Amino acid sequence: MKRWPTVGILAWALLAAAPVHAGKIYLMGGGYDDANVDLFVNGLRKATGRDGSYTPDLNSTSNCSSNWATTACPRIAVVTSSKESYAVGLDAFENDLDNGDGTVKRSYYNLFQTHGFSPRFITVHVDNYGSHAYSGNSAGDANIAIVNQADVVWFAGGDQARIARSWLRNDGSDTPLAAALRARWNANSPGFVVGGDSAGNHAMNSLMHGGGISYGYLYYRADLPTVSVPQFADFGDTRDGLTALRYFENGAKLKGLSFLPANLLSDTHFDARSGRLGRLLAAMRSMGRQQGFGVDEDTGLLVDTNSHIARVFGSGPVIIADLSAATYPSGSYWKVNGARVSLLTAGDSYNYSTQLISSSKSLIGTRYYSGYYDSADIFSAFETSRVLTRVVDQSASYNLGAAPAPDYSSAPYYPASAPTITLRFSRDASSKGYYSAGRYTVVKIKLDIY
């Protein structure tokens, strides 16, 4: 009977911080389960200190009063600036989405009410930021007032470039709305949390990476151009045009909201959507970041920038990538020797200052598997997690992962000469594995890409 847990439940999430590190960031990887209590209650609500002694009724969408002056619930300001327009964002806040299979995806209002929050809507979007992100008018003043009262400011998923366009000036500096949020952050209120899922997670970075896939980032040697806020609609590598392979496969960099410490970088949908380990590592190198968080779907990472502790919640993994001892061989594509990769699951914590991992799971002594597990497509869904967990619980000391060039059914195509890239995951004296109740913790696997 296999020890590997059902791979479909794994997911990850991440966070970001500002020039003044002042509080808590909650990074979610996207693709969340509306009913995930660990993610929303144990992770986000308790971080505010206003979680109370009650347990919300998961079948109710009216757990909390809407009067922010009297409610006992955490007050959450919901930001849908990642959506196409104000109208689309408001619809996502107010109305459930019919999934077409007899189930619904809850609106942000209903989602947060279900988990014991009192939600309000921030109206700023790409089609109204000229007034709604600025003071001196009714809409902008109302948004600033909500930010000033909130316990949580939550950035929903969509397109992170739209968040940059809505909250930042053309030169990347703060609009008055972003400045109000930063002032709340810098005040270091112990119960104030900034965060988001998917695009909202990315927006926490000081510099965001976006577009492209792991193979493309490696193939194009982590050569990520920087786009300006006014160029947000073409957030990608446009140097060969908008229909070229490089535009779709490579990525770009864009100013973020800068709440995650500048030596960290986060990524989302990390193993569920497709393996993003190569994308994160190459982006870290391009931006000069030493550590990275890869947060999977239905997973959250609560980062406390005062204690430097990041703790995992939810159903899936967070990958910790470390390039502090890495070297970079030359070649026709991006390579690395001596990177370190760890995998954390719910209850685990990571100190990004000391780089120490804490887990309550049982240390693996006798290994469960004989032999090894090599992956024929390491950047396909969940393969990175599978290879990492196997390498600490098998007799063989390393596993290989092959990354073949993607084979698309329509142009643009990779050339026939595009290489198959190899990832080698090795267990050594620095590596440890822990396991309990179907979940692993993997500590400091050595990774070489060649």
Determine the Cα–Cα distance for residues 96 and 105; give it in Å rounded to an integer: 6
Q: Taking Cα atoms as reference points, which of 396, 368, 294, 284 lies closest to residue 10?
A: 294
Residue 65 sits in the same domain as residue 153 = yes
Q: What is the pLDDT of residue 21?
A: 59
Distance between start and end Cα atoms, the chain:
34
Backbone φ and ψ of 67, nearest 5°:
-85, 105
Residue 309 sits in the same domain as residue 407 = no
Specify the DSSP element, H or E, that contains 436.
Answer: strand 432-436
Which of 351, 383, 406 terminates a domain? The answer is 351
- The pLDDT tens digits of the residues spanning 262-316 come to 999 999 999 998 899 999 999 999 999 999 999 999 999 999 999 999 999 999 9
**Residue 447: inside a domain, yes or no?**
no
Residue 170 sits in the same domain as residue 68 = yes
Q: Taking Cα atoms as reference points, which of 29, 34, 10, 15 lies closest to residue 381?
A: 10
Q: Give rounded-to-5 percent helix, strand, coil for the chain.
A: 25, 25, 50
- The pLDDT tens digits of the residues spanning 183-200 come to 999 998 889 999 999 999
Residue 21 sits in the same domain as residue 65 = yes
Residue 340 sits in the same domain as residue 377 = no
Determine the Cα–Cα distance for residues 23 and 87; give it in Å rounded to an integer: 32
Residue 192 sits in the same domain as residue 226 = yes
**Residue 363: inside a domain, yes or no?**
no
Range of the domain at 342: 8-351
Residue 107 sits in the same domain as residue 184 = yes
Residue 279 sits in the same domain as residue 309 = yes
Q: Taking Cα atoms as reference points, which of 180, 16, 150 lies closest to residue 78?
A: 150
Residue 340 sits in the same domain as residue 373 = no
Residue 302 sits in the same domain as residue 244 = yes
Residue 14 has pLDDT above 50, yes or no: no
Residue 202 sits in the same domain as residue 139 = yes
Which of 290, 325, 351 terminates a domain? The answer is 351
Residue with tokens 């446009």: 238
What is the dihedral angle through the alpha carbons of 68, 36, 191, 304, rounded to the nearest 10 degrees?
A: -150
- The pLDDT tens digits of the residues spanning 168-177 come to 999 999 999 9
**Residue 396: inside a domain, yes or no?**
yes
Q: Residue 363: how many CB atoms within 10 A of its CB?
A: 11
335, two tokens: 């390579």
DSSP per residue, 226-244:
B--GGGGGG-S--TT-TTS
- The pLDDT tens digits of the residues spanning 68-95 come to 999 999 999 999 999 999 999 999 999 9
Residue 249 sits in the same domain as residue 388 = no
Number of structural domains in the chain: 2
Q: What is the pLDDT of residue 4?
A: 45
What is the residue-averaged pLDDT of the chain?
Answer: 94
